[in-house]
C-alpha cells in the first residue's frame, strides 16, 4: 500500500511516499513542490496542481493524507493555504483516492509520543525510524514523512 502525505502551502508543499507491506515501511520518495515566488496565487495554484498531478501519476498512491490547517494570526495566508489544500483534495478525489486529514499535534504524538515535540525532535525520530544517515530537510518534507508513517501505523 502506497501512502502519500502532503503538507500544503502555497510556496513549498511537503510530500512523502511510503510503501507499507506487512507492517514494514519503506520510504519511497520525499521532498517539496515549489511554486514560483512572488507570483499571483492563481498562478501558484496552477503550478501546484500540475506538480501534484505528476506525483499522483508517478506513484499512484492508495491513500492521500493531508495535514489540517492550523493558523493563529494571518487570515490572508490561511485563505491562500486553504486554496492550495483544495487543489490537492480536488485532484485526489477526482482520481478516487482515499483521503485522510490529520493535525500537526496528531503527527507529533504518533512519531515522538509528545504533542509538544519540536521540529528537530520530529526530524530525529523520523531519521531513527527509517534508518537514515541524516535528518530530512526541509521541515515540510520531514513533516510529510511523519504523517505518512503515522497513517501507516494506524491502518
Do 87 and 99 touch, CB atoms closer than 8 A?
no
pLDDT in tens, 30-71: 999 999 999 999 999 999 999 999 999 999 999 998 988 766
- CB count within 10 Å of CB 72 equals 5
Which is higher by pLDDT, 114 or 6? 6
In angstroms, the Cα distances linking 24 to 15, 141, 153 are: 20, 20, 10
CATH of the domain at 130: 3.30.420.10
Share of the chain above pLDDT 90, in %: 38
- CB count within 10 Å of CB 83 equals 16
| Positions marked active-site | 7, 67, 140
pLDDT score recorded for residue 59: 95
Domain count, the chain: 1
Cα dihedral 74/110/149/44 (nearest 10): 0
The position carrying cell 508543499 is 13
Q: Which domain holds residue 108?
A: 2-154
Upper half-sphere CA count for residue 49 (Cβ side, 13 Å): 13
pLDDT at residue 150 tops 90? no
In angstroms, the Cα distances linking 13 to 102, 146, 151 are: 16, 14, 18
What's this model's pTM, rounded to 2 decimal places? 0.85
**Sign of torsion over alpha carbons 141, 155, 92, 62:** positive
Amino acid at each position: 500500500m502506497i501512502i502519500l502525505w502532503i503538507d500544503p502551502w502555497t510556496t513549498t508543499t511537503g510530500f512523502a511516499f511510503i510503501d507499507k507491506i506487512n507492517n514494514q515501511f519503506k520510504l519511497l520518495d520525499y521532498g517539496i513542490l515549489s511554486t514560483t515566488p512572488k507570483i499571483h496565487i492563481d498562478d501558484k495554484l496552477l503550478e501546484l496542481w500540475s506538480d501534484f498531478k505528476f506525483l499522483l501519476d508517478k506513484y499512484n498512491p492508495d491513500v492521500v493524507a493531508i495535514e489540517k490547517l492550523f493558523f493563529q494570526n494571518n487570515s490572508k495566508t490561511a485563505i491562500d493555504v486553504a486554496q492550495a489544500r483544495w487543489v490537492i483534495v480536488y485532484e485526489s478525489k477526482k482520481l478516487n483516492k482515499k483521503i485522510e486529514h490529520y493535525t500537526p499535534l496528531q503527527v507529533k504524538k504518533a512519531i515522538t509520543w509528545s504533542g509538544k515535540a519540536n521540529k528537530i525532535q520530529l526530524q530525529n525520530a523520523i531519521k531513527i525510524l527509517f534508518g537514515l544517515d541524516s535528518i530530512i530537510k526541509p521541515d515540510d518534507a520531514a513533516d510529510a514523512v511523519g504523517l505518512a508513517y503515522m497513517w501507516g501505523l494506524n491502518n
